């Protein structure tokens, strides 16, 4: 496998150095792996902190900036960050109004953020946490680790970020983040496996001519493996999987997300099919976002996320945002 890297050990640090050079509006602490908006701490503003394994770019570092995250903590590739990073980030961005940890439901992320919350509270920082668990492909029961956090993370970070930017208090920003998560559902498919730099070969075996339905953002499998389907069939399967779980009465935000190696030509075509299924099912679409936002290194494939919104959530979604990965209204 050919990769544009030096050695696997420095992949994350090298990327952070490059990110710092491209985005002087961010403060990038390469050694401690914390990305902070340069004007933090913003007086009176609740700070949003997220993080997770690297390899999902632009998530999360690419979503740091006015209107979204205050700081992000990238871990090793596909490995959650360590508590020291979150505590350092919290100290850098807390203005006294408290911090909200946005945590995707993966065992490692949950455990490390839990430990970080305890440590940050010991330092006198008020911490609230919201867990993102939008992936309908996972059977959610007492006997699994629960639904994964995937595409809805972007909706939670953007909408709660806008609420924080307006100066809303921590309890309110947390409540909005929860509301977004509860109203979001996702489903992903993989057309190829991805390759982590440390391993250098595909992390799972997906034969040519087959696809994996219900895949997570590390390529970890979900529901089943089938013979390759058309874009139309994949859209039918994915959107129905979501609508079987949620019947939106309000309009929805749509995220058609690329996993890293699927070109926009295919993603736009897939979006056309997604919109067709939604129209057929009588679901009104308020806004649509198409692109690579929550990726899995070089995996081919896509995920669909729907978020049911009321007027307030839609207003917050439309609010200005200025980050490397998401930018409008400014």
Partner 1 sequence: MLDADFFRRWMTATAASVDREAERLTALDSPIGDADHGSNLQRGFTAVAATLEKEAPDTPGAVLTLAGRQLISTVGGASGPLYGTLLRRTGKALGDAGEVGEEQLAEALRAGVEAVMTLGGAAPGDKTMIDTLVPAVDALGTGFAAARTAAEQGALATTPLQARKGRASYLGERSIGHQDPGATSAALLIAALAEAAGE
Q: Which residues are catalytic?
A: 56, 218
Q: Which is nearer to partner 1, 114 or 318 (CB)?
A: 114
Distance (Å, rounded) from C-alpha 112 to C-alpha 109?
Answer: 5
**Which residues from 173-212 bind partner 1, rule CB under 8 A?**
196, 198-199, 203-205
SS3 content of the chain, % helix, strand, coil (to 5): 35, 25, 40
**Structure-derived torsion over alpha carbons of residues 40, 77, 187, 193, reported in degrees to the nearest 10:** 150
Distance CA 267, CA 270 (A): 5
Q: Name which position in 139, 244, 268, 281 contacts partner 1 (CB under 8 A).
A: 139
Q: Which of 81, 151 has the CB closer to partner 1?
A: 81
Looking at 97-105, 184-192, 214-222, 281-289, which segment touches partner 1 (CB under 8 A)? Answer: 214-222
Among 222, 251, 258, 301, binds partner 1 (CB under 8 A): 222
287 token code pair: 């806004």
Q: What angle do CA 140, 146, 149 make, to 5 degrees?
A: 115
Stretch touching partner 1 by CB under 8 A, among 39-47, 82-90, 91-99, 277-285: 82-90
Q: Does 84 sit near partner 1 (CB under 8 A)?
A: yes
**Nearest one of 42, 313, 311, 45 to 168, comparing CA atoms:** 45
> What is the Cα gyration radius of the chain?
19
CB nearer partner 1, residue 196 or residue 271:
196
Verify binding: residue 1, partner 1, rule CB under 8 A. Answer: no
Interface residue with partner 1, options 6, 107, 247, 279 (CB under 8 A): 107
Residue nearer to partner 1 on the CB measure, 46 or 73:
73
Give yes or no for a contact between 80 and 108, defined as CB atoms under 8 angstroms apart.
yes
CB closer to partner 1, 73 vs 242: 73
* DSSP structure string for 60-91: TGGGBSTTSBSEEEEEEETSPPPHHHHHHHHH
Question: Looking at beta carbons only, is 158 or 218 nearer to partner 1?
Answer: 218
State in angstroms the smallest separation of the CB of 283 from partner 1: 27
Phi, psi angle pair for 82, to nearest 5°: -100, 160
Task: Write 245-249 long-range contacts (CB < 8 A, 24+).
Answer: 245/136, 245/185, 246/136, 246/183, 246/185, 246/306, 246/308, 248/183, 248/283, 248/306, 248/308, 249/308
* Near partner 1 by CB under 8 A: residue from 1, 5, 22, 145: 145
What residues between 22 and 61 interact with partner 1 by CB under 8 A? 53
Tokens of 8: 């696997």
Q: Which of 63, 78, 155, 293 binds partner 1 (CB under 8 A)?
A: 78
Q: Which of 219, 258, 260, 324 binds partner 1 (CB under 8 A)?
A: 219
161 touching partner 1, by CB under 8 A: no
Which residue in the set 83, 161, 251, 258 belongs to the binding site for partner 1 (CB under 8 A)?
A: 83
What number of residues does the chain have? 330
Q: What is the largest distance, in Å, between two alpha-carbon atoms of the chain?
A: 55
Which range of residues in 38-46, 63-71, 92-100, 142-150 is near partner 1 by CB under 8 A?
142-150
**What minimum distance in Å lies between the beta carbon of 237 and partner 1?**
18
The neighbouring-strand residues paired with 52 are 74
| Contact residues: partner 1, CB under 8 A | 8, 53, 75-84, 106-108, 111-112, 114-115, 138-139, 143-145, 148, 196, 198-199, 203-205, 216, 218-222
């Amino acid at each position: 496998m050919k990769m544009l890297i030096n050695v696997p050990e420095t992949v994350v640090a090298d990327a952070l150095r490059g990110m710092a050079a491209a985005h002087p509006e961010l403060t990038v602490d390469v050694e401690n792996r914390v990305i902070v908006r340069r004007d933090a701490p913003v007086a009176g503003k609740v700070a949003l902190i997220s993080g997770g394994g690297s390899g999902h770019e632009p998530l999360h570092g690419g979503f740091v900036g006015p209107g979204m995250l205050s700081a992000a903590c990238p871990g090793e590739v596909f490995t959650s960050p360590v508590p020291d990073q979150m505590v350092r980030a919290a100290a850098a961005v807390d203005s006294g109004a408290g911090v909200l940890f946005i945590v995707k439901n993966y065992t490692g992320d949950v455990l490390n953020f839990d430990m970080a919350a305890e440590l940050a509270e010991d330092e006198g920082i008020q911490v609230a946490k919201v867990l993102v668990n939008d992936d309908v492909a996972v059977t959610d029961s007492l006997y699994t680790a629960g639904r994964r956090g995937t595409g809805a993370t972007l909706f939670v970070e953007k909408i709660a970020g806008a609420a924080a930017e307006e100066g809303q208090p921590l309890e309110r920003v947390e409540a909005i983040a929860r509301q977004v998560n509860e109203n979001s559902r996702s489903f992903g498919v993989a057309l190829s496996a991805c390759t982590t730099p440390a391993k250098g070969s595909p992390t799972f075996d997906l034969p040519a001519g087959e696809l994996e339905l219900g895949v997570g953002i590390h390529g970890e499998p979900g529901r089943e493996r089938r013979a390759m389907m058309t874009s139309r069939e994949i859209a039918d399967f994915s959107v129905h999987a979501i609508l079987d779980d949620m019947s939106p009465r309000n309009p929805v935000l749509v995220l058609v997300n690329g996993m890293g190696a699927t070109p926009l030509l295919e993603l736009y075509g897939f979006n056309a099919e997604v919109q067709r299924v939604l129209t057929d099912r009588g679901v009104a679409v308020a806004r649509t976002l198409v692109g690579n936002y929550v990726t899995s290194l070089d995996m081919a494939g896509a995920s669909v996320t729907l978020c049911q919104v009321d007027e307030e959530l839609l207003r917050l979604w439309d609010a200005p945002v200025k980050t490397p990965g998401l930018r409008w209204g400014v």
